[in-house]
């Protein structure tokens, strides 16, 4: 395989800020792009990469769009060109253990669906699917949100506060509707979000931000 050029070791975000990245060789970049693969089928002819040219490509990330180093791969006996990301970036996150790994946490936390950022850049409105009524009602719940942040990311925790009183109408069992409703909780960061990714403590996955 012939190799032309060396990819840049820089990732550029939509706001023109940059982050250093560790560049990958063409084989390593292709392996990263393919991920875990099944055992090759011996009846299918393999694709052979004969050349790699350094380039860049634009893609969506948890921090928004970014221009990243890439390789353009030429396949043997084919007009098809493959473009694969030629870098890895490690973003440190606050030291929060995913809720799914903490016994009992799933009973008290709710996964965030999405987050809206207020005009001040610090106020986060967390949207979630929860009970149809507030905690003042028999089947209701209230929700509170908190955030743990560092310079690279924000981790959200949404806690459910179910109704804890007795049924004022008697001691008969109460059937609660299983249909969820869109609810929200608000938390305020110490500093503006400023493009940092937002992760959910229950799933440890990124949450959509708008």
Ranges 54-63, 170-179, 189-198: which has the least confidence: 170-179
Domain ranges, residue 84? 2-88
What total number of domains does the chain contain? Answer: 2
Residue 117 shares a structural domain with residue 66: no
Q: Is the pLDDT of residue 168 over 50?
A: no
pLDDT at residue 127 in the model:
95
DSSP E strand stretches across 76-122:
81-85, 87-88, 114-117
User: Could you read off the pLDDT of 62-111 as tens digits, one per residue?
Assistant: 666 789 999 999 999 888 899 999 988 765 555 555 544 444 455 688 88
Distant-in-sequence contacts of 85-88, Cβ < 8 A, 24+ apart: 85/24, 85/29, 85/32, 85/33, 85/57, 85/59, 86/7, 86/23, 86/24, 86/26, 86/29, 86/54, 87/7, 87/9, 87/11, 87/21, 87/22, 87/23, 87/24, 88/21, 88/22, 88/24, 88/32
Residue 65 shares a structural domain with residue 108: no
Residue 116 shares a structural domain with residue 71: no
Instruction: Examine residue 152 and state whether it is found in any structural domain, yes or no.
Output: yes
Instruction: Examine residue 94 and state whether it is found in any structural domain, yes or no.
Output: no
Residue 105 shares a structural domain with residue 198: yes
Instruction: Examine residue 50 and state whether it is found in any structural domain, yes or no.
Output: yes
CB-based contact 87:71 (threshold 8 Å) = no
Residue 107 shares a structural domain with residue 189: yes
Backbone angles phi, psi at 175, to 5 degrees: -90, 120
Residue 108 shares a structural domain with residue 199: yes
Residue 123 shares a structural domain with residue 79: no
User: Could you read off the pLDDT of 4-46 as tens digits, one per residue?
Assistant: 998 988 988 777 888 888 899 999 988 888 875 656 778 887 8
User: Could you read off the pLDDT of 145-162 as tens digits, one per residue?
Assistant: 999 888 888 889 999 888
pLDDT at residue 19 in the model:
85
Residue 84 shares a structural domain with residue 154: no
- The pLDDT of 195-210, averaged and rounded, is 84
Q: Which of 54, 88, 122 is the last residue of a domain?
A: 88
Residue 83 shares a structural domain with residue 163: no
pLDDT at residue 93 in the model:
54
- Does this model's pTM top 0.95? My answer is no
Instruction: Examine residue 161 and state whether it is found in any structural domain, yes or no.
Output: yes
Residue 76 shares a structural domain with residue 149: no
Q: Which of 53, 88, 123 is the last residue of a domain?
A: 88
Residue 66 shares a structural domain with residue 139: no
Residue 81 shares a structural domain with residue 122: no
pLDDT at residue 66 in the model:
84
pLDDT at residue 100 in the model:
47
């Amino acid at each position: 395989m012939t190799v032309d050029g060396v990819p840049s070791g820089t990732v550029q975000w939509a706001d023109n800020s940059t982050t250093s990245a560790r560049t990958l060789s063409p084989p390593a970049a292709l392996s990263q792009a393919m991920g875990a693969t099944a055992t090759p089928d011996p009846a299918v002819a393999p694709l052979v990469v004969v050349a790699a040219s350094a380039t860049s490509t634009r893609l969506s990330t948890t921090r928004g769009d970014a221009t990243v180093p890439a390789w353009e791969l030429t396949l043997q006996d084919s007009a098809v060109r493959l473009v694969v990301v030629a870098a890895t970036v490690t973003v440190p996150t606050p030291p929060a253990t995913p809720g799914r790994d903490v016994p009992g946490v799933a009973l008290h936390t709710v996964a965030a669906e999405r987050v809206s950022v207020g005009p001040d850049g610090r106020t986060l409105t967390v949207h979630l699917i929860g009970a149809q009524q507030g905690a003042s009602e028999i089947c209701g719940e209230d929700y509170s949100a908190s955030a743990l942040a560092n310079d690279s990311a924000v981790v959200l925790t949404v806690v459910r506060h179910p109704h804890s009183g007795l049924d004022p109408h008697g001691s008969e069992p109460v059937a609660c509707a299983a249909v969820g409703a869109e609810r929200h909780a608000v938390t305020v960061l110490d500093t503006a979000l400023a493009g940092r990714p937002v992760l959910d403590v229950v799933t440890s996955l990124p949450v959509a931000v708008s």
